[in-house]
Chain A
Amino acid sequence: MERTTERPTDHSGLEILDVEECLERLASQPVGRIAYVDAGAPVVLPVNHRVEGRQIVFRTTHGSKLAAALMERPVAFEVDGYSEEQRSGWSVLVRGRAEVLFDPAESSQVTGPRPQPWADQVQRGWWVRIHPEEISGRRLPDRPLEELRG
């Protein structure tokens, strides 16, 4: 996943990831965090997801995530990775709307390995899809060893 070409940087010096690399990194992690507003207050919760094209799908059950998706509310979705040793890391942020896959035929079109929820104590029979309206990512590259040794 590491690229050798030089990337542009943002105002704080972080490398800007292009959309394709953002999607690759989104797909590289089994757990992402979905953020939304529930009863007027922000909530962030982890989900097991997978990437379908440019969309993110996950399974859920009755609760606030499902309510947000049923009402097609705005959501944010984030994955990240870091190296404490290298003091480096990356994050990808997706902003868009959640929606429920109501049509069984549509949810059966979700291909590839299904997102299998680790929290499998209850059946998570509802599929939620996030339609991205914006995808962005940043990377703080590994530091040279001599810099880390200070």
Chain B
Amino acid sequence: MTRPLNVFLPVADADPEATFARFLDDPGTWLPAPARRAGADRWRVALRGAGLTRDVEISIDGTWRSGAAVWRRITWTPVAEEGDVLPLEKLLPGFQGDLGVVRHGDELSLVLAGGYEAPASFLGAAADAAGLNRVARKTGTQFLADIRTALAEPAPVAST
């Protein structure tokens, strides 16, 4: 079952035009480091949150606009690791949604809007579901914080 996840993070003291330009650039330059390319539009990234660090494979599509926002379709799937004692989806749920940069007056915000996959067995276990929601929210917030940091850094100089 898909559970909604909507996370907002203000970006203070940012140059809006430079931030939009960076966001439109190669996601490998602003995804949480170290982002390793895993395909044409896919990267392997370590996500942090709720005391947990897990590798995920992230897929990011091209950009689309609505109002004063620029969006990129984003999906991540956790990668199994040796020694996992719990099913992967109970440690860190997969996510599907949109990642956006929104300009609101003089302010910029990063937005992660979509849903994560909760295992069907969690539906009857309120405590487990709340725990998974906490992990998803903390992970989403940290993900945006890492992107905010990366977007604020100067764009890497293209190698020739």
Contacts and interface: CB of A to CB of B under 8 A. Distances in A.
B3 interface: yes
B103 to A, nearest CB: 7
Nearest to B3: A39
Interface residues of B, number: 22
- Main secondary structure, interface of B, reads strand
Interface stretch (B4-12, B39-47, B55-63, B124-132): B4-12
B135 interface: no
Contacts of A64: 4, 6, 113
B104 A102 contact: yes
12 contacts: A39-B3, A43-B4, A64-B4, A70-B69, A70-B102, A71-B113, A99-B67, A100-B102, A102-B68, A102-B103, A104-B105, A126-B104
Given A39-B3, A99-B67, A102-B105, 10 more contacts: A38-B4, A39-B2, A39-B97, A39-B114, A41-B2, A62-B8, A67-B6, A71-B100, A100-B67, A102-B103
Interface of A: 38-41, 43, 62-64, 66-67, 70-72, 99-100, 102, 104, 126
